[in-house]
Structure 1
Amino acid sequence: MTAPLIELCVEGIDGFLAAQEAGADRVELCASLMEGGLTPSLATIRAAVKAARIPVHVIIRPRGGDFLYSEAEFDTMRADIEALRSEGVAGVVIGCLTPDGRIDEMRTKALVAAARPMSVTCHRAFDMTEDAGEALEALIRCGVDRVLTSGQRDTALEGIAILRQSVDQAGDRIVVMGCGALDANNIAAVRDATRLKELHFAALKTVQSGMAFRNLHVGMGGTEKDREYELTLTDPEAVRATIAAAKST
Structure 2
Amino acid sequence: MSKIEIACFNPESAIIAFENGADRIELCDGLSEGGTTPGFETAKHLREKINIPIFVMIRPRGGDFTYSDAEFEQMKSELTQLKSLNVDGFVFGILDENDEVNVERNKELVKLAKPYPCTFHRAFDRAKDLENSLEEVIDCGFKTILTSGQRPNVSEGKDNLKKLVELSNGRIEILVGGGLRSTNIQELRDFTKAGYFHSSAITDGGVFAVAEEVVALKSK
Q: Same fold (TM over 0.5)?
A: yes
Task: Give the match's secondary structure for 1:152.
Answer: coil
Matched, 1:100 2:98: yes
Q: Matches of 1:131 and 1:81 in 2, distance apart?
A: 28
Q: Aligned residue for 1:243?
A: 218
Larger Rg: 1
Task: Give the match's secondary structure for 2:180.
Answer: coil
Matched, 1:77 2:75: yes
Task: Give the match's secondary structure for 2:208.
Answer: strand
Q: Aligned residue for 1:5?
A: 3
Q: CA RMSD in A?
A: 1.1
CA change 1:76–1:99 in 2 (3 A) is same
Q: Aligned residue for 2:145?
A: 147
Shift in Å, 1:78:
0.8
The correspondence for 1:17, drawn from 15, 18, 26, is 15
Q: How many residues are treated as equivalent by the alignment?
A: 220
Shift in Å, 1:85:
2.0
Q: Matches of 1:141 and 1:205 in 2, distance apart?
A: 36
Shift in Å, 1:112:
0.3
Q: Aligned residue for 2:209?
A: 234
Percent of residue pairs bearing the same amino acid type: 38
Decide whether the 8 Å contact of 1:128 with 1:152 is kept in 2: yes
The correspondence for 2:26, drawn from 15, 28, 49, is 28
Q: Aligned residue for 1:169?
A: 167
Task: Give the match's secondary structure for 1:8.
Answer: strand
Decide whether the 8 Å contact of 1:6 with 1:200 is kept in 2: yes
Unpaired stretches in structure 1, ≥5 consecutive residues: 208-230
Unpaired stretches in structure 2, ≥5 consecutive residues: none
Superposition pairs for residues 111-122 of structure 1, below 5 Å?
111-122=109-120
Decide whether the 8 Å contact of 1:205 with 1:232 is kept in 2: no
The correspondence for 1:123, drawn from 121, 124, 128, is 121
Task: Give the match's secondary structure for 2:115.
Answer: coil
The correspondence for 2:54, drawn from 51, 56, 73, is 56
Task: Give the match's secondary structure for 1:140.
Answer: helix
Moved over 3 A (4+): none
Task: Give the match's secondary structure for 2:97.
Answer: coil
Shift in Å, 1:84:
2.0
Shift in Å, 1:4:
2.8
Decide whether the 8 Å contact of 2:29 with 2:37 is kept in 1: yes
Q: Matches of 1:172 and 1:194 in 2, distance apart?
A: 13
